[in-house]
Structure 1
Amino acid sequence: MRDELPQATFTPTYGAQPIDDERTRFVLWAPSARAVNVEVEGLPSQAMRATTDGHYEAEVACGHGARYRYRVFGAADEEGTPVPDPASRAQHGDIDGPSLVVDPRHYRWRHNDWQGRPWQETVLYELHIGTLGGFDGVREKLAYLADLGVTAIELMPVSEFPGGRNWGYDGVLPYAVEASYGSPDDMKALIDEAHAHGLQVFLDVVYNHFGPDGNYLATYADTFFRDDLQTPWGPSIDFRGPQVRRYFIDNALMWLQEYRLDGLRFDAVHAISERDFLVEMVREIRSHVDPQRHVHLVLENEGNNASLLDADHYTAQWSDDWHNVMHVLLTGEYEGYYADFVEDATAKLVRCLSEGFIYQGERSRHGHVRGEPSAHLPTSAFVIFLQNHDQTGNRALGERLSVLADPDALAAANVLLMLSPMMPLLFMGEEWGSTRPFLFFTEHRDALADAVREGRRSEFADFSAFQDEATRSRIPDPNALETFEASIPDYELRETPPHDAWLERTRTLLSLRHQHIVPRLPGTRSLGAEALGDKAVVARWRLGDGSRLTIAINLGGNDLAAQDLGGARCLFESRPDMESAAKEGRLMHHGAAAWLDAEEATP
């Protein structure tokens, strides 16, 4: 019975909205349509009532699980075009199948007292649901991740995409849970169980573009897009329109309210033309979400807009600057977006550790001014990572750092990743040094599949390793099943040599972080950083209780003279004798160590 189910906390403006067990209200914004019908399987087609500003509404005698489509009629169109609901909560089958009515009160939550965790405790673990066996497969990993020291899993996008496998960024139905991963209730069960393990759950959402197949919005809402502004994915979404803004803001609120997610990561917001939309969205979210909950909002933003991270705005930003300069120092790569970080790379790392962003108004290699001053921001405003889906999956061969970098240097970089006062993110498999690639994979059809394969290969034509057709032919076909299968993490190896030692190091570093850094994180400020030589830096921070954290890292191949590195207590050394060498005024090559002067703490 209805009164036995928990009450829904949020109803999006658009889509199928169950009124009770036997009635559902449908709302579609279709300003380009002459008329719209809603077609529920087993019932006669029903004309929707035109209301205001291009909206159509209808109430139908159906409930949870009903299958339906809209049929939109153009000016001279007598038969109409059947389309899925752009606010569909789930699809029966794929993007072209019928949409499903989903009652948000259908799932019975077990952990209603969960309020999240403070941001300072966050250690993120990014994962791809499809490669782990769907929502149920991820559930099997939760106990392991909690034991490892992870406090939050970050799900790559779950929105419905064409086919049954996709790296996630070709979604076309932002409200619908990808059917190959499981149902909406399966996703809620994953979140519910994660909370039982003390794990937060974040979701990566894509509001800057739609995938290339299955997006019908332009058919009946041509003003959803603008023809005067292009993005790398096609015409820009027109965020000047209030209905477009409502569509995406409601989507964010749905994930946070109905699915009880603890945070969202907003993909590539620099591709959103209207900056004030980002401000409006964060204000709406903050005003609608219970202030007693810990809800964290994280940006990916090449623009480095520090002002979006000020009080009452977004919690943090993915620090691509940190990743890019570390990648250059670890690998020596210089092509693509790494070109902006090659010159004076050590000095750039110094600035990143001291002030947050590297680019704070300087021009990129393309001549664009990028970034705003960031030294005033807390260290917790920056999510740092050595690997993620982008900088792995966007590589032609999907290589991880474990096969690109010196292993001792990479171990040293992990000390900086996990013990600095910035917020660490691990990419699935990184914790045991997996060497398995993470590739770009899709399941497009027919001509689009051919275009994606050839486009992927031509994308790397300017890279030195892929200068001819023979070398480009080595780039895996995104649509091939084996490309997907090659990207499935090899969890079965994590406790076998040499991966077991790597895994134990990760577990130790995260334990030290939770014990010594996290309690002192609020109020932390940088005491500056300095270069000790090529690829070698020492950084210091005053933690919130007055203690001082020092991390020295030498990614180069030679020992360097360095004075005054140590402290009262060495938390961790990535190589044996790092601490004793530091006392002798020497920073060992391919090594890092962290010290904590806790006796400086105020009572």
Structure 2
Amino acid sequence: MSIVKRLHSMPFGSHILDDGRVNFRLWAPGAKQVELCLQGLAPETRLLMAPEDDGWFGITTELASAGFYYQYRIDKKIQVPDPASRYQPQDVHGSSQVIDPSEWQWQDNDWIGLPWEDSVIYELHVGTFSKEGTFAGVKKHLDHLVDLGVTALQLMPIADFPGRCNWGYDGALLFATDSRYGTPDDLKDLIASAHAKGLMVFNDVVYNHFGPEGNYLHHYAPAFFSDRTHTPWGAAINFDGEHSHWVRQFFIHNALYWLDEFHFDGLRLDAVHAIFDESDPDFLSCLAEAVRRGPGFDRQIHLILENDANAAHYLRQNSEHPERYFTSQWNDDFHHTLHAQLTGEHQGYYQDYGEQPIQHLGRCLAEGFAYQGEISGYRDDNPRGEPSKDLPPTAFVNFLQTHDQIGNRAYGERLSALCSPEALRAATAILLLAPAPPLLFMGQEWACSRPFNYFVDFSDDLNKQVAEGRLNEFAKFPDFKPNPKKPIPTPNEPETFESAILDWNEIDETPHLQWLEYHRKLLRIRSRYIRPRLYGLTGGQAEYRVLNEHALCVQWPMNDGSILKMIANLGSEPAWVNCFSDGEVLFAAEPDASERVEQGRLTPWSVIFLLAEADAES
């Protein structure tokens, strides 16, 4: 097997040249003077960096080499880490380290990824997935994921964040793997090991804001931020104002860096509805095009959006610009309508799904979004979404649980603690057997009993603000009643983080083992009967029919002319329906379920999937 070395060249950061010297470049349009502070020698050596055009400063020196620590000194006032640092051994406030990416020898040159239709995604948080809380800890459990039937790992953000623990969405240095998880080479080892087992690996990236601690760009590059718009997490990024060219390049190179240098198979872009850009083409379109023309030119690269706006146009290929598209989007509507149906919760954003939830579910399964321009009561009676019926089902990632939907609850309860086992089994069958790529959140496959609360480790003042803000947010929900005997977990308390660490011993216990076998069974059915029929599916072909208040029938034409059919009763009472159960039964909650359907009766929380051959009548 040939050995490959991978390096992404970019206009900023530190780069080891062929002659052994190191080049350093910083975009600092708000600074008058920048010095390079080399800390591999004693005492610290300061070298004046040469000013260049358009706000750049640079220097090439033989005094540095791989492993050297360094910082930049701005206008003789403050020393800061490199915003494009590849590694921060001393956390976000400390020194950056010169890394030689070519030292890692890749042996997965034959790996070009998997088709998107093969995707069964498993979202995990590196710090709580294993007792080690590291990339190496994730690697130890890869065989479990392969045996489960997963084909893709999705890592929650790994960019360097402040403190000992964080969800990752407070990243301050976006090119540096967080040192608590391991070195850059440890991450590369995880990805190479996953590829060797036939697993894709996706990275979750945050381009709508920087974390509230450890970001020093305001001191020397205020042009990174916009004073015209704001996000719920802080200052918005300047993607369309003055000096926005290099801001865009910073984030586009970040995407290419993870895909090139670390051989990730795709990216999940967090909350792009909080990226404000009125230019044409906008930042997201430019990023997609750069990826398709770059690492996506000769291997399978998948770009996944989280977008509360349900902007379907990002998921379509345009004949004039065929590379400006994203592969898929997290379908919050699918989650919300099923959650409301299973739990009876109708507060917050679930209020939009309280009426006719089965109608919303049918539309999600057949057309993608439930909200395709309709009025959203939760959003102050404003329209939400764009038409999505013409898109294939593979353009939407479905899920029952994610870090958001569990962790943003006051007590971090998983769905298995909120509804009956019968209801959860029915929803799980729909998730794993419908054509849309399914996503599982770590531990979901065995109905993990551990909560997943929101946790951070900021400086004292910021920790206090976060804790108070969280309590105030929950107080806005009229139906929320805190348990006086069970205080809401405080984000910065060590116990909050530690309680989220998976307990792998549960797998061998009842009922967790039964849940694990159930997920394995469903994913084997998906792999054998459904996945081969997904390639090349087009949109606008699926149909759904509401049978009664809780019952639904959906049909999807498959690529070989066959029809995949789902009949479900998502209620706690039997349902009398008029529906034919034609075709081979792929899955049924009960052995005689198809006979019961022919008799017009669906038992509570029953789901049936059938496959009718091409010449069979539907």
Query: Structure 2 length as normaliser, TM-score?
Result: 0.93
Query: Share of identical aligned residues, percent?
Result: 46
Whether contact under 8 Å (1:545, 1:601) holds in the other structure is no
CA distance 1:239–1:332, change in 2 (3 Å): same
Partner of 2:267: 264
Q: Are residue 212 (structure 1) and residue 215 (structure 2) matched?
A: no
Partner of 1:456: 470
Partner of 1:81: 78
Residues 163-210 of structure 1: CA deviation (Å, up to 9, x unaligned): 111111111111110000000000000000000110000010000011
Which sections of structure 1, spanning at least 5 residues, go unmatched?
74-78
CA distance 1:448–1:9, change in 2 (3 Å): closer
Alignment counterpart, residue 118 of structure 2, candidates 118, 121, 136: 121
Residues 294-353 of structure 1: CA deviation (Å, up to 9, x unaligned): 110000001111110012310000001111111111111111111122122221112212
CA distance 1:415–1:600, change in 2 (3 Å): farther
Separation of aligned partners in 1, 2:120 and 2:176: 27
Q: CA deviation at 1:576?
A: 4.4
Separation of aligned partners in 1, 2:494 and 2:265: 33
Alignment counterpart, residue 243 of structure 1, candidates 241, 246, 254: 246
Q: Are residue 535 (structure 1) and residue 550 (structure 2) matched?
A: yes
Matches within 5 A, 1:19-168: 19-20=17-18, 22-41=20-39, 42=41, 44-61=45-62, 62-73=64-75, 79-131=76-128, 132=130, 133-168=133-168
Worse-matched range after superposition: 422-431 or 367-376: 367-376
Q: Are residue 407 (structure 1) and residue 404 (structure 2) matched?
A: no
Whether contact under 8 Å (2:3, 2:106) holds in the other structure is no
Residues 497-535 of structure 1: CA deviation (Å, up to 9, x unaligned): 111111111001101101111110024354311111122
Partner of 1:315: 327
Separation of aligned partners in 1, 2:494 and 2:188: 28
Classify the secondary structure of the residue corresponding to 1:399. Answer: coil
CA distance 1:190–1:87, change in 2 (3 Å): same
Partner of 2:201: 201
Whether contact under 8 Å (2:5, 2:106) holds in the other structure is no
Q: CA deviation at 1:8?
A: 3.4
Letter of the 1:553 counterpart: A
Whether contact under 8 Å (1:323, 1:384) holds in the other structure is yes
Q: Are residue 498 (structure 1) and residue 515 (structure 2) matched?
A: no
Alignment counterpart, residue 583 of structure 2, candidates 557, 568, 573: 568
Classify the secondary structure of the residue corresponding to 1:20. Answer: coil
Separation of aligned partners in 1, 2:369 and 2:3: 47
Q: Are residue 373 (structure 1) and residue 387 (structure 2) matched?
A: yes
Q: CA deviation at 1:433?
A: 1.2
Whether contact under 8 Å (1:523, 1:543) holds in the other structure is no
Separation of aligned partners in 2, 1:509 and 1:294: 26
Separation of aligned partners in 1, 2:336 and 2:387: 19
Q: CA deviation at 1:599?
A: 5.0
Partner of 1:337: 349
Whether contact under 8 Å (2:267, 2:304) holds in the other structure is yes
Partner of 1:589: 604
Q: CA RMSD in A?
A: 1.7
Q: Are residue 252 (structure 1) and residue 243 (structure 2) matched?
A: no
Whether contact under 8 Å (1:550, 1:565) holds in the other structure is no
Separation of aligned partners in 1, 2:54 and 2:398: 44
Separation of aligned partners in 2, 1:149 and 1:600: 31
Deviating beyond 6 angstroms after TM superposition, the runs of 4 or more aligned structure 1 residues are none
Q: CA deviation at 1:580?
A: 2.7
Q: CA deviation at 1:7?
A: 4.1
Letter of the 1:68 counterpart: Y
Letter of the 1:59 counterpart: T
Classify the secondary structure of the residue corresponding to 2:9. Answer: coil
CA distance 1:65–1:472, change in 2 (3 Å): farther
Q: Are residue 514 (structure 1) and residue 527 (structure 2) matched?
A: yes
Letter of the 2:291 counterpart: I
Partner of 1:14: 12
Q: CA deviation at 1:231?
A: 1.1
CA distance 1:565–1:400, change in 2 (3 Å): farther
Alignment counterpart, residue 488 of structure 1, candidates 475, 498, 501: 501
Separation of aligned partners in 1, 2:517 and 2:179: 36
Whether contact under 8 Å (1:457, 1:473) holds in the other structure is no
Letter of the 2:563 counterpart: R
Worse-matched range after superposition: 195-204 or 593-602: 593-602
Partner of 1:554: 569
Alignment counterpart, residue 301 of structure 2, candidates 291, 295, 315: 295
Worse-matched range after superposition: 134-143 or 471-480: 471-480
Q: CA deviation at 1:488?
A: 0.9
Separation of aligned partners in 2, 1:404 and 1:461: 20
CA distance 1:368–1:103, change in 2 (3 Å): farther
Separation of aligned partners in 1, 2:180 and 2:536: 44
Q: CA deviation at 1:9?
A: 4.5
Whether contact under 8 Å (1:495, 1:503) holds in the other structure is no
CA distance 1:123–1:23, change in 2 (3 Å): same
Whether contact under 8 Å (1:466, 1:472) holds in the other structure is no
Worse-matched range after superposition: 529-538 or 113-122: 529-538
Partner of 2:284: 278
Separation of aligned partners in 1, 2:529 and 2:211: 44
Separation of aligned partners in 1, 2:49 and 2:485: 51
Which sections of structure 2, spanning at least 5 residues, go unmatched?
318-322
Q: Are residue 578 (structure 1) and residue 579 (structure 2) matched?
A: no
Q: CA deviation at 1:555?
A: 1.4
Letter of the 1:72 counterpart: I
Separation of aligned partners in 1, 2:96 and 2:592: 62
Separation of aligned partners in 1, 2:479 and 2:384: 29
Partner of 2:320: none
Letter of the 1:308 counterpart: Y
- Count of paired positions: 593
Q: Are residue 177 (structure 1) and residue 183 (structure 2) matched?
A: no
